[in-house]
Structure 1
Amino acid sequence: MHTPLLRYHGGKYRLSKWLYQFFPEHKTYTEAFGGAASVLLRKKRSHGEVYNDLDEDIFNLFNVLRDRSNASTLIDLCHLTPYSRDEFKLAYEFTDDPIERARRTIVRSAMGFGSGGASGHPTGFRCEASRKYSTSAHCWQKYPPVLRYVTARLQGVNIENRPAISCIEKHDSLDTLHYVDPPYLFETRKINSSGGVYRHEMTSGDHETLLNSLKALDGAVVLSGYPSDLYADLLTSWKVETKQACISAGSGTGVRTECIWLNPYCVEKLKSGAIGMHHTSQGAYVTHHMRASNTELEISNAISQLVNNGEKVTKTAVSNIVGVSREHLSRRYKHLFAA
């Protein structure tokens, strides 16, 4: 997966591999502030996985992508959608058709400046035809295969649309890992500090309620945020890890200190050696996962090429394009042909 599903404010696509090293062994995994699900979509499958987001447009997109028939229609529509200012303007108009609503969410994200378009935040049309490398339109042309990968990855994932704390508490257990990535505190942000960019922002009081709820959980918790006095005061027994990370928002790019807080149970599980996929074997896992993801995208691109050329999509035709045997396609990548 070379690109995130959505250009989403606060998305963790670039940080996901760094985060994985702090994920202890678990059977159930939750992302209660799901957003673009960049962490979930790139991690190894867990026995049970829960994606949740309160934003109706984002929830609708994931609901559409989880259904193979609806996802296939959405992929075809995106293939046929030109990269245009008119399409971008249309994407801000409401529709009650789930598939068209999902398409418009994607268009706002892909064709708008910054990272707020997916959640309905007004942005300008992104027209970068003179870029040295891939233009915005080039990126849009390569986007539909990403949807095929996401559709396959979402099979078996529980998609929810409820308050985050309710979702977290519902699925909490000693075998659960909660990755919690809420809208950051207003006072820690450099832009949009007054108006916000999400449909469902959080006040300082909301953050305090969230932190107290997280402290009462049985499961392991990995919590993302920027440094703040509130978090420092309430999470005194939690371990903090930091990383300098590039951010892109609006028309600017900068470097911020990203923090994650690990609750004592998470730290205990990591220290005890109950670390499964994300510790000593993490390097090998990431390498294998990236290779598999690259192959999936190559296959998806080949399928899209055949569709665009009006040719029949067969495993033989795809095998000739990507150099993967038909047997391997049938055994390892058959889900891509069903989308």
Structure 2
Amino acid sequence: MNQAVNSPFRYAGGKFYARKLILEYIPQHFSYVEPFAGGASIFFAKDKVQKNWLNDIDEDLVNVYLFIRDYPEKLIDTLKNEVATKERHNFYKNVFIPNNPLEKATRWYYLNRTSYSGIMNMRNCYWGYGDKYSMRPENWGRNILRTSQKLQNVRLTQLDFEEVIKQVEDNSFLFIDPPYFNADQDKFYNHSFSKECHYRLSNVLKNSGNRFQFLLTYDNSPEIQELYSWAKLIHEKEWNYTINRTDDQKKTKDVQDDIKKEATVKKGSRYKGREIFITNFALVTEGYTQLSLNYEYI
């Protein structure tokens, strides 16, 4: 399968709603790499190329990707009779103890599809399923099969981002979507990304970026603007998305405030995503810099 499909996961900080904006930036390439794959919305939204590599430091996430790619029927079979309820969510979160990789993948997939914003940090993994806004369990199997087809012959690894970047082939294209600079990512992810990691990422891209092209997405902050002052382009971008609140109201206010300030937004409200896009190459379209600023997609 080569055509666009949706990611198999919900993922905090994912780029589902920014896909159209991001795809406009991607040049022609034969080798595609995501060092911070997460939900890999951009990979699934674009055409596959000759070589594709998805990497993430999260062992449990990569384990699910491997089952979707290599053993989709096994994962589908373990999920086929599931229902989306708070009781089952509590069971998988607090009671169920997986004993093998398949059971780990089953637990992760169930919690991801039924938790608020796809947050998989167990301290902040709350019930967040709604029939109107979430994929129903009876459709999970078809979703897994579609994404399994697209993942065929895709390299999947669980490495530090620096190791990936140093290994990429010359003339590859990298889509790089690290955790935000000015956010407490420990509340959302199981692996912390320190300020030192942000500086390490900038250094490795600066020192080796002449071998490949990259698009890097970040929260817009003076620190990041300064850190990447050496880059070719830095564009301010924004897009619209709709918030549909189906979360467990027992979440703490601090967590609510940190998830895009969603605690103060009513269900169905429109919200703007704002980031900067950083590249080490010039865009082909003449004058694109001015046209792209503040362009919106719904």
Q: TM-score range by the shorter chain?
A: 0.7 to 0.9
* TM-score in terms of structure 2 length: 0.78
Q: Which residue of 2 aligns with 1:86?
A: 87
Following superposition, the deviation at residue 145 of structure 1 comes to 1.0
Matches within 5 A, 1:1-339: 3-67=6-70, 70-92=71-93, 93-117=96-120, 119-126=121-128, 128=130, 134=132, 136=134, 139-173=136-170, 175-185=171-181, 187=182, 189=183, 193=184, 195-216=186-207, 217=209, 218-236=211-229, 237-246=231-240, 249=259, 251-252=262-263, 254-263=271-280, 266-267=281-282, 270=284
Number of equivalent positions: 255
Q: Secondary structure at the match of 2:156?
A: strand
Mapped contact 1:11–1:35 kept (Cα < 8 A): yes
The one-character-per-residue Cα deviations of 1:225-246 (angstroms, maximum 9, x if unpaired) are: 1112222112223312232234
Which deviates further from its counterpart, 85-94 or 51-60? 85-94
Question: What is the DSSP-based 3-state SS (H/G/I as helix, E as strand, rest coil) of the residue aligned with 2:187?
Answer: coil
Q: Quote the offset at 1:127 in angstroms.
A: 5.2
Q: Is the 8 A contact 2:177 2:218 kept in 1?
A: yes
Q: Which residue identity does 1:50 align to in structure 2?
A: W
1:96/1:17 CA distance change after superposition, 3 Å? farther
Query: Hey, what's the Cα distance between the residues in 2 that align with 1:207 and 1:260?
Result: 15
Structure 1 runs not aligned, ≥5 long: 273-339
**Contact 1:83 / 1:111 at 8 angstroms: preserved in 2?**
yes
The amino acid of 1:78's aligned partner reads: L
Q: 1:96 to 1:51 in 2, by over 3 A?
A: farther
In 2, distance between residues paired with 1:194 and 1:202? 7
5+ unaligned residues in a row in structure 2: which ranges?
A: 244-258, 266-270, 287-298
Alignment-mate amino acid for residue 238 of structure 2: Q
- Is the Cα contact below 8 Å between 2:5 and 2:147 reproduced in 1? no
Q: In structure 2, what residue type is equivalent to 1:239?
A: L
Aligned in 2, Cα 1:50/1:231: closer, same or farther, shift over 3 Å?
same
- Please list the CA deviations of residues 262-301 of structure 1 after superposition, one character each: whole Å capped at 9, or x if unmatched: 11xx226x469xxxxxxxxxxxxxxxxxxxxxxxxxxxxx
How far residue 121 of structure 1 moved from its aligned partner, in angstroms, is 4.6
Name the CA distance, whole Å, in 1 between partners of 2:240 and 2:190. 24
C-alpha separation in 2, matches of 1:161 and 1:97: 18
2: CA distance between counterparts of 1:128 and 1:177? 37
CA distance in 2, matches of 1:164, 1:184: 15
State the secondary structure of the residue aligned to 1:6: coil
Give the letter for the 2:276 counterpart. Answer: C
CA drift of 1:194 comes to 7.2
User: 1:135 Cα shift?
Assistant: 5.8
Q: CA deviation at 1:196?
A: 3.0
Offset at residue 62 of structure 1 (A): 0.5
Identity %: 20
Q: Cα offset for 1:85?
A: 2.3
Change in 2 beyond 3 A, CA 1:103/1:212: same
Partner residue of 1:290? Answer: none
More helix by proportion, 1 or 2? 1
Instruction: Name the CA distance, whole Å, in 2 between partners of 1:209 and 1:165.
Output: 8
Is this contact kept in 2: 1:208–1:230, CA < 8 A?
no
After superposing the two structures, state which structure 1 stretch, 2-11 or 223-232, moved more.
Answer: 2-11
Q: Which residue of 2 aligns with 1:276?
A: none
Deviates more, 1:226-235 or 1:146-155: 226-235
Question: Per the alignment, in what secondary structure is the counterpart of residue 25 of structure 2?
Answer: coil
Runs of 4+ in 1 over 6 A off after TM superposition: none
CA RMSD of aligned residues (A): 2.3
Distance 1:103 1:46 in 2: 29
Alpha-carbon shift at residue 202 of structure 1 (Å): 1.3
Per-residue deviation, 1:53: 0.6
Question: 1:211 deviation in Å?
Answer: 0.7
Q: SS state of the match for residue 26, structure 2?
A: coil
Between Structure 1 and Structure 2, whose CA radius of gyration is higher? 1
